[in-house]
Amino acid sequence: MTDSPALRSFIPPYILNRIIAHGSEPQRTAAMTTLHHVQGLLPNPGVPSRPPQRAILPPPGKPGVAQRSVHDAQNKMLLPGMPVRLEGQPATGDAAVNEAYDALGASYDFFWKVLGRDSIDNKGLPLVGSVHYGQGYENAFWNGAQMVFGDGDGEIFQRFTRSLDVVAHELAHGVTESAAGLIYANQSGALNESLSDVFGILTKQFVLGHTVEQADWLIGADLLTARINGRGLRSMSHPGTAYDDPLLGKDPQPDHMRKFVITQEDNGGVHINSGIPNRAFYLTARALGGFAWKKAGVIWYDALCDKRLSPDASFNAFARLTIEHAGKRFGAREVDAVRQGWAQTGVEITENV
């Protein structure tokens, strides 16, 4: 049994709650509207989620060729909105439209060229994105059918299409949903979020041609305005250090299992505890060196696609599969790097998957 399609949002509820508690009146209003929307669409275990609004899709294209359509929601909360740029059409005068179009293409190219995956479902599913969602909407999300991007309030967050890794992050939720259906709660939910961060950061590194050493390992580095004291929303290399700001508070992500956060909020801390597998991936990639997508990324993808990966998988279960696939795909050096990466984050490796 897999988790039913539902909203996977980039900005976690705890950040929106901070803005509601400490922001100006306009900031509070924007955050409250966003939070209420997120809470209304987040999955509730045991309760069927509402079906996502779907765009009318063209048939899949040839393998290796993306089929993109970008829509303008015109500051409403109705999807998909007006089609404004379809596959092969020239750039428009709207930066958000062009950024979404380019980032969807870059994400498709990464999955195809690096991992051999033909779109989200591996069957050439057309990629749909909607921009200008809501008014001052402070989030981006995957709703089970498409990517959706708000413009931010311009004071805390800039438009969400600015960040390639955010776009790739949201698309990767669709890949995880298709490949493994990881339940969006507790450790499996944190793995779900971490995998989106992994493939989001790898897409950015692939486009920029950055090695492990050159990369910033920051998720959402282009989102925060100059008013906020932060480098991004999450740091994969050093979870808990991405921001420390009077308005947003301090980045709460743990980097080790001894700091694992037990909470009922955020579906059991899916955005918080994802810091642990994020750092395990970073440590693995750093130990292997070079381009992170060539070995560490392939290993993580192989584990994601392994049919033995349970929808309610724990960190331990996923770690075991990554170690096994490191051996199948590569050799002893890679196995040791993966094993040490998990060990340094306190994930105990047992024989039972």
pLDDT digit string (tens) for 204-241?
999 999 999 999 999 999 999 999 999 999 999 999 99
User: DSSP letters of 221-243?
Assistant: TTTB-TTS-BS-SEESSSTT-SB
pLDDT in tens, 263-314: 998 899 999 999 999 999 999 999 999 999 999 999 999 999 999 999 999 9
**Domain map of the chain by residue range?**
8-179, 186-343
Structure token pair of residue 41: 């669409």
Confidence of residue 49 (pLDDT cuts 50, 70, 90): very low
Q: Which residue has the tokens 């709703």?
A: 143
pTM beyond cutoff 0.75: yes
Give the pLDDT of residue 47: 37
Give the pLDDT of residue 161: 97
In the annotation, is 22 catalytic?
no
In the annotation, is 324 catalytic?
no
CA distances from 299 to 97, 171, 306, 313 (A): 33, 19, 11, 17
Q: Give the separation between CA 49 and CA 56, rounded to whole angstroms.
A: 21
Q: Give the separation between CA 207 and CA 93, rounded to whole angstroms.
A: 23
Q: Quick check: helix, strand or coil at residue 348? A: coil
Burial 31-66 (b: 16+ CB within 10 A, else e): bbbbbebbeebbbeeeeebeebbebeeeeebeeeeb
Burial 179-199 (b: 16+ CB within 10 A, else e): bbbbbbbbbbbbbbbbbbbbb
Selected catalytic residue, list 155, 170, 193, 334: 170
Selected catalytic residue, list 71, 132, 169, 271: 271
Mean pLDDT of the chain: 91
Confidence of residue 51 (pLDDT cuts 50, 70, 90): very low
What is the fold, at CATH topology level, of the domain defined by 186-343?
Neutral Protease; domain 2 (1.10.390)
Question: Which has the closest alpha carbon to 271: 343, 202, 345, 192?
Answer: 192
Q: Which residue has the tokens 């259906």?
A: 181
Beta partners for residue 240, in sequence order: none
Contacts of 305 (CB under 8 A, 6+ apart): 179, 180
Give the pLDDT of residue 8: 84
Give the pLDDT of residue 44: 45
Question: Which has the closest alpha carbon to 99: 70, 127, 138?
Answer: 70
Q: Which residue has the tokens 């599913």?
A: 125
Give the pLDDT of residue 350: 74
In the β-sheet with 147-149, what is the strand arrangement from edge to edge? 8-9, 140-142, 147-149, 127-131, 68-72, 82-86
Confidence of residue 59 (pLDDT cuts 50, 70, 90): low
Amino acid making up residue 240: G
Q: Quick check: helix, strand or coil at residue 345? A: coil
Confidence of residue 62 (pLDDT cuts 50, 70, 90): confident
What is the fold, at CATH topology level, of the domain defined by 8-179?
Elastase; domain 1 (3.10.170)
